[in-house]
Amino acid sequence: MTEDPPTRAPVILGIDDLRPLPWTTRIARSSGEGIKLLQEHRDSFIDELWLDHDLGGDDSILPVVTLMEEAAFNERPFRIGTVFVHSANPIGSETVVRSLTHWGYSVRRATAQEARR
C-alpha cells in the first residue's frame, strides 16, 4: 500500500495594523514588516494575502504594493492564490485592487465581515 503525500498547510499572510486576523499563518503590523514577510516567502506559494490600506500614522500598504508591482514588472511576480483587500478606506482599497489587478494578481475586495471571520 502506498501512502498519500503529506498535505501542505495553507500559507495565509496578513498585513494589518489592528485586526487580529486569527486565521492567518503570520501577520505583519506595518508596511516594513509586510515587506520582510513577503520577502521571506519569496520562493514559496502564498495561498492568501490579506491587506489593509491604512496601517497607522503615516504608514500605508503602498510600499508593499510597490514591491509586488516591481516583482511583476520584472517578470517574477509573487505566487499568490488570492489577495484580499479589507480596508475601511474605499479610495485606498480601490487603488490597491486596481494596481495589483493590472499586474496580474488575483485580487478581491473583502468586506469587514470577511476580515473578521
Question: CA 27 to CA 29: how far, in whole Å?
Answer: 7
C-alpha cell at 76: 517574477
For 78-114, what is each residue's pLDDT tens digit?
999 999 999 889 999 999 999 999 999 999 998 655 6
Question: CA 85 to CA 15: how far, in whole Å?
Answer: 10
For 33-80, what is each residue's pLDDT tens digit?
999 999 999 999 999 999 999 999 999 999 999 999 999 999 999 999
Three-state secondary-structure class, residue 92: helix
- Angle between helix 90-102 and 62-73 (nearest 10): 10
What is the total residue count of the chain? Answer: 117
Residues in contact with 103: Cβ distance below 8 Å, sequence separation at least 6, in sequence order:
68, 69, 72, 73, 77
